[in-house]
Amino acid sequence: MEQKIGRFIDPLSDFGFKRLFGSEPQKDILIDFLNQLFLGQKEIADLTYSPTEYAGDTDKIKKVFFDLHCTGKNGEKFIIEMQKAEQRNFKDRAVFYTSRLINEQLPKGESHWNIKLDELYLIAVLEFKFKNGSPDRYLHNIALTNTDTHEIFYNKLGYKFLELPNFVKTEEELETDLDRWFYLLKNMSQLEKIPAVLNKRIFQQVFKIAELSNLTKEEKAMYDSSLKAKWDYENSIAFAEERGIEKGREEGMEKGMEKGIEKGIEKGKYDVAIEMKKEGITNSQIAKFTKLPIEVIEKL
């Protein structure tokens, strides 16, 4: 798989995603992105960044880590996730993530049900196609509905899945700012100049932040490590697909692919962590980008 570093950072790498959308001084970028997603549904006037790590009430309840978690001016909560490849229980995880934040809203020891919940939305940027999905749909709006009347049953919980592989519009075909956001996310790392169709203040701001030459030495090292992790992951997927085909003849396609993916991803994480340590990046930063336990990183 041929890969190269372009003029602009890859917004679908962990570093690139957080640099563009996870910075408090540049939060107007995330606000604009969300407002285009929720156009006609709601308008976000302001955001504050919230904790991305939530532990369970007991040691037996799994700790969760969000890519980004923000709270709107009116108390509405947004989880923004980036998903590189489909996992067997991806939809279950999406529901579990929202349920954790719903649970967080309940005061401990409350004996009467008199709680008014805040709005809660999960937005997932997907680099894969849903299995058995529709090839012409690249935005999925999910809500609790009455299956008989198709009316919204509960309008304070929703999921938005951005299926990037299905977005195939060219520059000339972009009509809305949401189209432009899709195009930017999917193509920015391959661009050598800013397209005229993206000549708008918010997109100019994005490209300025994403300019590779504007990164500090430490940021460049972190980006290189993040990009390597992404490429290792993609290569692991490609390798797993090849091995899955071979093993599928003997053991079944799904089992072979799953084993290959898990093995390749785990090795890639350790390789990236080692490279980041060589660059002098702190253990806490390495843990943040690789999702490896800090105790493991300390021993590398």
The structural domains of the chain, with segments of one domain joined by +, span 14-107+114-214
Give φ, ψ of 41 to 5 degrees: -110, -45
Q: What are 52-72's pLDDT values in tens digits?
A: 887 766 555 667 888 999 999
pLDDT band at 3 (very low <50, low <70, confident <90, very high): low
Give strand pairing partners of 121.
78, 158
d(CA 237, CA 245): 12
pLDDT at 228: 80
What average pLDDT is seen over the chain? Answer: 84
C-alpha–C-alpha distance, residues 77 and 82, integer Å? 17
pLDDT band of 1, cuts 50, 70, 90: very low
Q: Is pLDDT of 290 > 80?
A: no
Per-residue pLDDT tens over the stretch 213-269: 999 999 888 888 888 877 776 666 655 556 555 555 555 555 555 565 566 666 667
**For 167-182, what is the mean pLDDT?**
97
